[in-house]
């Protein structure tokens, strides 16, 4: 493992256009992110409870990653993936994204892309005026726009489409959102676009989908049952397929990077069979059941079909990847922690692989676990000092009492990462968001 490198800072206004994508047309980017769907839910990763033919095919056409790690819960993951920063730098509270933060929507828009977000928002919306357009998105179709009256996400959904509330009796929320995505692609097929698609499925409440045997759009209130989770996973797979087919039918496969991941692990209380083992849902947990998520990319003529990567991927890396591919502008006055995955996608010889992923987790909501960890493919070190050989102990049942000689250097390097991040997180300027820090400085000046 290499020595720890400090996160890089990107100058605002700097347009970095990689020679790999310096083409007559900039590539489109679609980022799918399902809600509460751990790695054990995809058959391409060894799922036995679920069938995901679309995602299996996507992996066969592109690259599958075995080591992608998210935050354990939805808002922490959404803040991290959208801004490219560890949570201790800019996470303020649950169901909120600091309006002062730059997102990958801003980055793509600054490069001339048409941008949209559709699916689940849950980032405060009208509470502080942080409409999706203020985060760099030209258009949106979203559920849970604010806390006041967000309504159903599935049967009889209540959504916000470009700041207008709609309620569709007898409709199915994920279908309406997906239709929005298809229309957005159709409308913008002649110009580069960025579509961020944080899917509504398959989050609780577990309800029938239009493909379920007992689906009934006429009932006033849908029945809830864990058995529907399987249907919901498979319906999410189906919706991804509709978008992929749209791209292919328009002849955009060579010009479109498609990425698929999930925000965190499966909900607790659910059990799946994975590679012959029982896999308990671990949403909110810091172990693999809460943070190990699928990641698949397809980009014709750029990503080798059927390839599998054992490189580490951190949720902070998506921001930097969007920036390099689009050539957009990054923030000028705060740190970006992620690194671009473009070279990894293309198999570039000079790509500098990650030697760790890092998670700082304090959702400021409920009573979940809190903590930090740094890990690589083999070992994991927690902020509290516990150590696991995760390559041999996937479910983290047996903490190591003594570091094995073969892994001593790796463990020492991971400990240094944890201590460095703890140190950075203890500084007031790192704890505060950009907007909060600026406000505090103004108050300090007045007191003088």
pLDDT in tens, 205-225: 999 999 999 999 999 999 999
The owner of tokens 């509504």 is 200
Query: DSSP alpha helices (H): ranges in 200-341?
Result: 228-249, 288-291, 317-326
Q: 268-281, pLDDT tens digit by residue? A: 999 999 999 999 99
* Measured distance CA(358)–CA(106) in Å, rounded: 24
- Residues of CATH 3.40.720.10 domain(s) within the chain? 28-355
| H runs (alpha helix) in 62-137 | 74-83, 87-90, 104-110
Give pTM, 2 decimals: 0.90
Cβ-Cβ contacts under 8 Å for 75 (sequence gap 6 or more): 91, 94, 95, 96, 97, 122, 123, 363, 365
Q: What is the pLDDT of residue 124?
A: 81
Average pLDDT in the chain: 89
Which residues touch 377 (CB under 8 Å, ≥6 apart)?
Answer: 67, 310, 312, 391
Pairing of strands 164-167, 158-161: antiparallel
What pLDDT shows up at residue 148? Answer: 62
| Model pLDDT, residue 63 | 99
Q: What is the pLDDT of residues 115-156, one digit of tens each?
A: 999 999 989 866 666 678 899 999 999 998 665 667 899 999
Q: Compute how many other C-beta atoms are within 10 angstroms of the C-beta atom of residue 423.
A: 10
CATH fold label, 28-355:
Alkaline Phosphatase, subunit A (3.40.720)
């Amino acid at each position: 493992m290499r020595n720890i490198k400090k996160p890089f800072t990107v100058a605002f206004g700097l347009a970095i256009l990689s020679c790999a994508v310096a083409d007559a047309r900039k590539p489109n980017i679609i980022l799918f992110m399902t809600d509460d769907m751990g790695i054990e839910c995809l058959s391409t990763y060894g799922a036995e409870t679920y069938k995901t033919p679309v995602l299996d095919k996507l992996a066969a056409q592109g690259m599958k990653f075995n080591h992608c790690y998210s935050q354990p819960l939805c808002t922490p993951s959404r803040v991290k993936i959208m801004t490219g920063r560890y949570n201790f730098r800019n996470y303020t509270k649950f169901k909120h994204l600091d309006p002062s933060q730059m997102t990958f929507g801003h980055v793509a828009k600054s490069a001339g892309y048409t941008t949209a977000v559709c699916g689940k928002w849950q980032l405060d919306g009208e509470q502080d005026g942080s409409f999706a357009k203020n985060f760099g998105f030209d258009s949106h179709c979203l559920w849970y726009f604010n806390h006041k009256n967000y309504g159903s996400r599935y049967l009889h959904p209540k959504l916000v489409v470009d700041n207008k509330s709609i309620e569709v009796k007898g409709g199915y929320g994920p279908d309406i959102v997906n239709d929005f995505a298809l229309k957005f692609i159709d409308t913008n097929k002649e110009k580069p676009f960025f579509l961020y698609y944080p899917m509504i499925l398959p989050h609780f409440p577990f309800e029938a989908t239009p493909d379920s045997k007992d689906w009934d759009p006429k009932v006033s209130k849908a029945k809830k049952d864990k058995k529907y989770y399987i249907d919901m996973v498979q319906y999410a797979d189906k919706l991804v397929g509709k978008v992929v087919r749209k791209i292919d039918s328009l002849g955009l496969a060579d010009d479109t990077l498609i990425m698929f991941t999930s925000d965190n692990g499966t909900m607790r209380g659910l059990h799946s069979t994975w590679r012959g083992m029982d896999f308990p849902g671990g949403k909110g947990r810091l172990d693999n059941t809460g943070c190990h998520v699928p990641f698949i990319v397809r980009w014709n003529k750029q990503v080798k079909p059927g390839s599998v990567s054992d490189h580490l991927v951190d949720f902070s890396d998506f921001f930097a990847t969007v920036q390099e591919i689009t050539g957009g502008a990054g923030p000028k006055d705060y740190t970006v922690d992620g690194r671009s995955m473009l070279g990894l996608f293309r198999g570039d010889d000079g790509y500098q692989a990650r030697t760790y992923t890092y998670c700082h987790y304090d959702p400021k909501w409920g009573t979940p676990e809190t903590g930090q960890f740094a890990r690589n493919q083999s070992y994991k070190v927690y902020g509290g000092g516990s150590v696991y050989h995760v390559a041999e102990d996937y479910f983290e049942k047996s903490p190591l009492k003594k570091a094995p000689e073969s892994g001593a250097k790796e463990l020492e390097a991971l400990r240094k990462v944890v201590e460095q991040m703890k140190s950075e997180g203890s500084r007031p300027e790192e704890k505060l968001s950009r907007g909060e820090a600026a406000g505090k400085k103004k108050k300090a000046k007045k007191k003088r």
